[in-house]
Protein backbone atom coordinates (compact mmCIF):
# COMPACT_ATOMS: atom_id res chain seq x y z
CA UNK A 1 0.00 0.00 0.00
CA UNK A 2 1.46 3.33 -1.17
CA UNK A 3 1.75 6.02 1.38
CA UNK A 4 -0.23 9.13 0.57
CA UNK A 5 1.95 12.25 0.38
CA UNK A 6 0.99 14.58 3.15
CA UNK A 7 0.18 18.15 2.17
CA UNK A 8 2.13 20.48 4.41
CA UNK A 9 0.04 22.74 6.63
CA UNK A 10 1.63 25.85 5.14
CA UNK A 11 0.34 24.93 1.64
CA UNK A 12 -3.15 24.39 3.00
CA UNK A 13 -3.01 27.83 4.62
CA UNK A 14 -1.79 29.47 1.40
CA UNK A 15 -4.55 27.84 -0.67
CA UNK A 16 -7.19 28.75 1.91
CA UNK A 17 -5.94 32.35 2.02
CA UNK A 18 -6.04 32.57 -1.79
CA UNK A 19 -9.59 31.19 -1.89
CA UNK A 20 -10.73 33.65 0.77
CA UNK A 21 -9.07 36.50 -1.14
CA UNK A 22 -10.77 35.46 -4.42
CA UNK A 23 -14.15 35.19 -2.70
CA UNK A 24 -13.66 38.62 -1.13
CA UNK A 25 -12.77 40.14 -4.53
CA UNK A 26 -15.82 38.59 -6.21
CA UNK A 27 -18.03 39.78 -3.35
CA UNK A 28 -16.64 43.33 -3.72
CA UNK A 29 -17.23 43.30 -7.50
CA UNK A 30 -20.79 42.08 -6.95
CA UNK A 31 -21.37 44.69 -4.24
CA UNK A 32 -20.03 47.49 -6.52
CA UNK A 33 -22.22 46.33 -9.42
CA UNK A 34 -25.42 45.96 -7.39
CA UNK A 35 -25.15 48.59 -4.65
CA UNK A 36 -23.03 51.28 -6.37
CA UNK A 37 -24.30 50.74 -9.92
CA UNK A 38 -20.77 50.40 -11.33
CA UNK A 39 -20.86 48.96 -14.86
CA UNK A 40 -18.44 48.50 -17.73
CA UNK A 41 -17.99 51.66 -19.82
CA UNK A 42 -20.40 52.22 -22.68
CA UNK A 43 -19.08 51.84 -26.19
CA UNK A 44 -18.47 55.21 -27.83
CA UNK A 45 -18.85 53.63 -31.26
CA UNK A 46 -22.48 52.76 -30.49
CA UNK A 47 -23.48 56.42 -30.59
CA UNK A 48 -23.39 59.08 -33.29
CA UNK A 49 -21.24 60.49 -34.77
CA UNK A 50 -18.91 57.57 -34.04
CA UNK A 51 -21.13 54.84 -35.48
CA UNK A 52 -19.31 55.05 -38.81
CA UNK A 53 -17.00 58.05 -38.70
CA UNK A 54 -17.75 61.33 -40.44
CA UNK A 55 -16.46 64.70 -41.54
CA UNK A 56 -18.73 67.72 -41.18
CA UNK A 57 -18.18 71.33 -42.09
CA UNK A 58 -19.03 73.53 -39.10
CA UNK A 59 -18.16 76.92 -40.64
CA UNK A 60 -16.31 78.22 -43.71
CA UNK A 61 -12.86 76.61 -43.56
CA UNK A 62 -13.68 74.69 -40.35
CA UNK A 63 -14.30 70.95 -40.18
CA UNK A 64 -14.89 68.31 -37.54
CA UNK A 65 -13.61 64.80 -38.25
CA UNK A 66 -15.01 62.01 -36.10
CA UNK A 67 -12.70 59.11 -36.83
CA UNK A 68 -13.20 55.51 -35.79
CA UNK A 69 -10.15 53.27 -35.76
CA UNK A 70 -10.79 49.55 -36.04
CA UNK A 71 -8.92 46.47 -37.17
CA UNK A 72 -7.38 47.51 -39.59
CA UNK A 73 -8.62 50.74 -41.02
CA UNK A 74 -9.77 54.24 -40.19
CA UNK A 75 -13.33 55.37 -40.85
CA UNK A 76 -13.54 57.48 -42.90
CA UNK A 77 -10.51 56.16 -44.77
CA UNK A 78 -10.09 59.37 -46.75
CA UNK A 79 -10.73 62.92 -45.58
CA UNK A 80 -10.80 65.70 -48.17
CA UNK A 81 -10.61 69.36 -47.19
CA UNK A 82 -9.68 72.51 -49.10
CA UNK A 83 -6.37 74.24 -48.32
CA UNK A 84 -6.48 76.66 -45.41
CA UNK A 85 -8.89 74.43 -43.50
CA UNK A 86 -8.75 73.91 -39.77
CA UNK A 87 -9.85 70.43 -38.77
CA UNK A 88 -10.81 69.28 -35.28
CA UNK A 89 -10.06 65.57 -34.99
CA UNK A 90 -12.02 63.43 -32.52
CA UNK A 91 -10.66 59.90 -32.44
CA UNK A 92 -11.87 56.69 -30.85
CA UNK A 93 -11.48 52.96 -31.40
CA UNK A 94 -14.03 50.24 -32.00
CA UNK A 95 -11.84 47.35 -30.78
CA UNK A 96 -8.26 47.64 -29.52
CA UNK A 97 -5.84 50.50 -28.94
CA UNK A 98 -4.66 52.03 -32.20
CA UNK A 99 -2.62 55.09 -33.08
CA UNK A 100 -3.55 58.08 -35.25
CA UNK A 101 -0.57 59.95 -36.65
CA UNK A 102 -0.92 62.42 -39.51
CA UNK A 103 2.40 62.83 -41.26
CA UNK A 104 3.58 66.39 -41.76
CA UNK A 105 1.54 67.65 -38.79
CA UNK A 106 1.75 67.63 -35.00
CA UNK A 107 -1.29 65.33 -34.75
CA UNK A 108 -0.29 62.14 -32.95
CA UNK A 109 -3.10 60.59 -30.93
CA UNK A 110 -4.06 57.32 -29.33
CA UNK A 111 -7.32 55.72 -30.45
CA UNK A 112 -8.69 54.16 -27.29
CA UNK A 113 -11.86 52.05 -26.95
CA UNK A 114 -14.40 53.86 -24.77
CA UNK A 115 -12.60 57.20 -24.95
CA UNK A 116 -12.27 60.10 -27.36
CA UNK A 117 -8.99 61.90 -28.00
CA UNK A 118 -8.70 65.28 -29.66
CA UNK A 119 -6.31 67.36 -31.73
CA UNK A 120 -6.59 70.24 -34.15
CA UNK A 121 -4.63 70.74 -37.36
CA UNK A 122 -4.48 73.40 -40.03
CA UNK A 123 -3.80 72.39 -43.63
CA UNK A 124 -2.32 75.28 -45.61
CA UNK A 125 -0.58 73.38 -48.40
CA UNK A 126 -2.40 71.32 -51.03
CA UNK A 127 -1.30 67.69 -51.10
CA UNK A 128 -1.66 64.35 -49.43
CA UNK A 129 -1.01 63.37 -45.83
CA UNK A 130 -0.82 59.75 -44.77
CA UNK A 131 -2.53 58.71 -41.56
CA UNK A 132 -0.63 55.96 -39.80
CA UNK A 133 -1.47 53.64 -36.96
CA UNK A 134 1.55 53.76 -34.65
CA UNK A 135 0.39 51.23 -32.03
CA UNK A 136 0.86 47.57 -32.79
CA UNK A 137 -2.71 46.30 -33.11
CA UNK A 138 -2.41 42.85 -34.67
CA UNK A 139 -1.81 41.12 -37.98
CA UNK A 140 -2.95 44.00 -40.18
CA UNK A 141 -1.19 46.78 -38.28
CA UNK A 142 1.26 47.48 -41.11
CA UNK A 143 -1.64 48.00 -43.56
CA UNK A 144 -3.61 50.34 -41.32
CA UNK A 145 -3.47 53.57 -43.27
CA UNK A 146 -5.71 56.54 -43.89
CA UNK A 147 -5.36 59.58 -46.08
CA UNK A 148 -6.02 63.27 -45.92
CA UNK A 149 -6.29 65.11 -49.23
CA UNK A 150 -5.87 68.86 -49.16
CA UNK A 151 -7.28 70.32 -52.35
CA UNK A 152 -6.16 73.64 -53.91
Residues at the contact surface with ligand CUA, assessed by CB under 6 A: 72, 98, 133, 135-137, 141, 144
Q: Quick one: 64 or 135, whose CB is closer to ligand CUA? A: 135
Q: Quick one: 68 or 144, whose CB is closer to ligand CUA? A: 144
Q: Quick one: 66 or 70, whose CB is closer to ligand CUA? A: 70
Give the separation between CA 83 and CA 140, rounded to whole angstroms.
32
Element (H, E) at 16: helix 9-35
The least distance separating ligand CUA from the CB of residue 94, rounded to whole angstroms, comes to 11
What DSSP letter does each residue of 22-70 carry, written as one string?
Answer: HHHHHHHHHHHHHHS---PPPPGGGSTTTTT-EEEEEETTEEEEEEEEE
The least distance separating ligand CUA from the CB of residue 141, rounded to whole angstroms, comes to 4
Q: Quick one: 135 or 149, whose CB is closer to ligand CUA? A: 135
Neighbours of 128 (CB within 10 A): 11
- φ/ψ of residue 127, rounded to 5: 150, -165
Q: How far is CA 18 from the centre of its chain?
A: 34
The least distance separating ligand CUA from the CB of residue 152, rounded to whole angstroms, comes to 31
The least distance separating ligand CUA from the CB of residue 100, rounded to whole angstroms, comes to 9
CA dihedral 21, 25, 31, 32 (to 10 degrees): 150
The least distance separating ligand CUA from the CB of residue 135, rounded to whole angstroms, comes to 5
Q: Quick one: 85 or 92, whose CB is closer to ligand CUA? A: 92
Amino acid sequence: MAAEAAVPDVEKKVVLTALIFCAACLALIGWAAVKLGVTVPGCVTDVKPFTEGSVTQTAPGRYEAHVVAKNWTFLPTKITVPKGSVVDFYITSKDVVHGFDIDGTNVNLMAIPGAVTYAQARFDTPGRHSVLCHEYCGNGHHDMLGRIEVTP
